[in-house]
Amino acid sequence: MSHKVLFQVTGSIAAFKAAHVISQLVKNGHEVQTVATPSALEFIGPATFEGLTGKSILTNSFENGQMMGHIEWARWADIVILCPATAKSINSLAAGTAEGLVGDIFLANNFLRPYLIVPAMNAQMYHHPATQRSLQQLQSWGCHIMETGAGILACGEVGDGRMAEPQEVLKKIDEILIASTDKPKILITAGGTCEPIDGVRNITNFSTGETGRFLAEYLKKSFDVFYVKSETAALPVGVKNVYTFKSSDQLEQTIKCLVSEFYFDSVIQAAAVSDFKLKSINGLKPDENSKLNSDEKVTLELSHRPKIIDQIKNASLNQNIKVIGFKLTQSENKDHKQEQIFKLSMNPNIDFVVHNEINTTRGLQHRSEIYKRDQVILKTESKVQLAQNIERLIQGNL
């Protein structure tokens, strides 16, 4: 399968190895766009890259006709590669202050696409605490970091820091592309929103995010899961694409950004979103940078916020995206309960609604009914059953 590869080269003596990698990527049918730092061009000329890829190399953020290049290229790519990555580029990326197109693309990408770093440097530079800390930082943000080899370095020293061999880099690129593109993508939200009152207080709910976490862990075997969690919700094991939200506005922004960037088969909105936004406090606009006086009388005015779930289909790249909502009820009045469920399940912006009652979800027990419009199409007793049924719903097997 052909992919779009944004290949960035920095100023290392190992730049010639990058040419081998690029050459093989092109032979394997990938579309490769190269970017070079000014230092990289001291080691290898633009003619080599242009000859290998059939495209002019990009070197400058301010090139005529390329002013928005950093944003466009970050979006164009299926994978962004920094190879070889110098100590300087690694340290400045980790600080968020890398210069030029490489730095701009890194920030604009913001981990929406996989980012592979292939370090190459002298052993002392590699083991320097600044470089080690930066590599850890970049890895914790989700970058893929290639191991360096040990051996005789270009400087004559013996040690770590030697760039991985082209075949190893190609293997890693394949692994990343397969992991990120082989399976259909789904987005799962989990946890409760937090509407700030001031710098230290907020309005939130009791959602733990446990259902979302369970679904993410179960569904990752069939889908490429993007997980959008509240700050306090648990992390699913083995899910790489994780985004965090605090307020309902942040959650809305994250979902819209992701569904407009990526082709998702489904969004499972398991997050408990506040129905209300704080409109005013004592008649004034809420201010997150202040703290209310504990002795003062406080009047909070809340207003209804538009439902995020209503906006997903409209914002989505995939116009046939399946939107799955959750409805938790706590009502003795049967008619009122049914009315609440139907309000959601008859909504044309939602395909399926998982309904459950407070007190019927505990641990792995998860009694629920799945609605399609006004019909209950499935009943589940446990979280595993729920996950299995959601999997079948998304795959269109029900």
Give the range of 105-113, 120-128, 217-225, 261-269 binding ligand FMN by CB under 6 A.
120-128
Stretch that binds ligand FMN, among 81-89, 141-149, 235-243, 306-314 (CB under 6 A): 81-89
Where b means 16+ CB within 10 Å and e means fewer, 276-295 reads: ebbeebeeeebeeeeebeee
Q: Is 123 in the site for ligand FMN (CB under 6 A)?
A: no
Asked if residue 59 binds ligand FMN (CB under 6 A), the reply is no
Q: List the strands of the sheet with 4-9, edge to edge.
A: 31-36, 4-9, 79-85, 115-119, 144-145
351 alpha-carbon distance from chain centroid: 24
Q: If we measure between CA atoms, which residue out of 143, 39, 44, 45 comes closest to residue 86? A: 39
Provide φ and ψ at 313, rounded to 5°: -60, -45
| Span interacting with ligand FMN, options 12-20, 167-175, 185-193, 286-294, rule CB under 6 A | 12-20
44 belongs to the binding site for ligand FMN (CB under 6 A): no
Shortest approach of ligand FMN to residue 153 CB, angstroms?
8
Backbone angles phi, psi at 155, to 5 degrees: -75, -5
CB of 88 to ligand FMN, least distance (A): 4
Cβ 119 to ligand FMN, closest distance in Å?
Answer: 8
Choose between 156 and 283: whose C-beta lies nearer to ligand FMN. Answer: 156
Q: Compare residues 8 and 380 and give the one whose CB is closer to ligand FMN.
A: 8
| Residue 274, helix vs strand vs coil | coil
88 interacts with ligand FMN by CB under 6 A: yes
Counting Cα atoms < 13 Å in the Cβ hemisphere of 90 gives 32
Question: Cβ atoms within 10 A of the Cβ of 90, count?
Answer: 27
Q: Which of 5, 18, 25, 40 binds ligand FMN (CB under 6 A)?
A: 40
Given candidates 6, 7, 8, 10, which one binds ligand FMN under the rule CB under 6 A?
10
Active-site residue numbers? Answer: 155
Report in angstroms how near the CB of residue 62 gets to ligand FMN at its nearest.
Answer: 16
CA distance from start to end of the chain: 30
Q: What is the DSSP letter of 61?
A: T
Nearest distance from residue 70's CB to ligand FMN, in Å? 15
Residue closest to 275 by CA, chosen among 242, 244, 302: 302
Nearer to ligand FMN, 14 or 186 (CB): 14
Q: Given the rule CB under 6 A, which residues bind ligand FMN?
A: 10-14, 37, 39-40, 86-89, 120-121, 125
